[in-house]
Amino acid sequence: MAIIVNLDVELAKQKMTLTELSEKVGITLSNLSILKTGKARAIRFDTLNAICAVLQCQPGDLLEFRED
Amino acid sequence: MKNKVMSSIVMFGLCVAAVVVVLIGAYLVPLSHQTAETNPTIAHMRVPVLIMGWLILACVIALLVAAFLLLLRINKGNIFEQKSVNLLKLMAVISLAPIPVLATLFFYTSANVDGSITNFWVVVGVMASVIVSIFFFLLASLFQKAVDYKNENELTI
């Protein structure tokens, strides 16, 4: 897939685990895991907003476009 | 709860239908004997036509079993899954299965009896098979779309 989710990078920057993020954002661990592993087909603005607020980053930090 | 009651009623209906089909299958034996006795000129056709009748009834039983399995899935709440779509596709194929048997019956009776009345029922049977099969194929494609939408929705975070 051309869109890469850099959630693990942002989590490492904030020294936060996926479980902690799940608790703070209010999204289930399994859904965050789907997002982290790049299996997600789409992401809602609400979700992006909540993750960016907790990780104090920009959407561009989380999502990256790479040509195949 | 209401859906479960409804599907339980439909399951009971399917069981009754299966019993009726089996009884019809059993009734075909004395019927064939009776027909052979009243029409000795076509008595030699008794066994082949009886076997063809049983084959058609076997297709109906298979269709009822597939419908029963689909209802079990609906009762468990596993409706919009690939297995349900596959079951519907199987039901569509089973619905088409009597056509070769009916075609054989058509040619067999046409070759042995002039102006056989069986031809009318064969045409009705083929039409019914095709219509039921189209219905199941349409339902399967509708379910496939629903499964795709469900998967897409589940993968939207």
Residue B21 near residue B60, CB atoms below 8 Å: yes
CB-based contact A32 B157, cutoff 8 Å: yes
If one counts the domains in chain A, the total is 1
B37-48 per-position pLDDT tens digit = 988 888 888 899
Enumerate the residues of chain B whose CB falls inside 8 A of the CB of residue A44: 156-157
Contact residues of B toward A, CB < 8 A: 152, 155-157
Hey, how many other C-beta atoms are within 10 angstroms of the C-beta on A10?
20
Contacts of A52 (CB under 8 A, 6+ apart): A58, A59, A61, A62
Residue B70 near residue B10, CB atoms below 8 Å: no
Assigned domain for A68 exists = no
CB-based contact B156 A27, cutoff 8 Å: no
**Listed residue (B92, B95, B99) closest to B142, CA to CA:** B92
Pull the structure tokens for residue B116: 């056989």
Single-letter code of the amino acid located at A57? C
Give the global pTM. 0.76
How close are the terminal C-alpha atoms of chain A, in Å? 7
CB-based contact A43 B152, cutoff 8 Å: no
Q: Is the pLDDT of residue B92 over 90?
A: yes
To which residue do tokens 């045409």 refer?
Answer: B123
Enumerate the residues of chain B whose CB falls inside 8 A of the CB of residue A31: 157
CB-based contact A31 B152, cutoff 8 Å: no
Single-letter code of the amino acid located at B59? C
**E strand or H helix at A4:** strand A3-5
Half-sphere exposure of B7 (CA within 13 A, CB side): 16
Assigned domain for A23 exists = yes
Q: Quick one: what percent of chain B has pLDDT higher than 90?
A: 58
A13-65 per-position pLDDT tens digit = 988 999 999 999 898 999 999 988 888 889 999 999 999 999 999 999 999 99
Range of the domain at A12: 3-63
User: Which ipTM value was assigned to this complex?
Assistant: 0.76
Half-sphere exposure of B59 (CA within 13 A, CB side): 21
To which residue do tokens 């087909």 refer?
Answer: A41
- φ/ψ of A64, rounded to 5, equals -140, 140
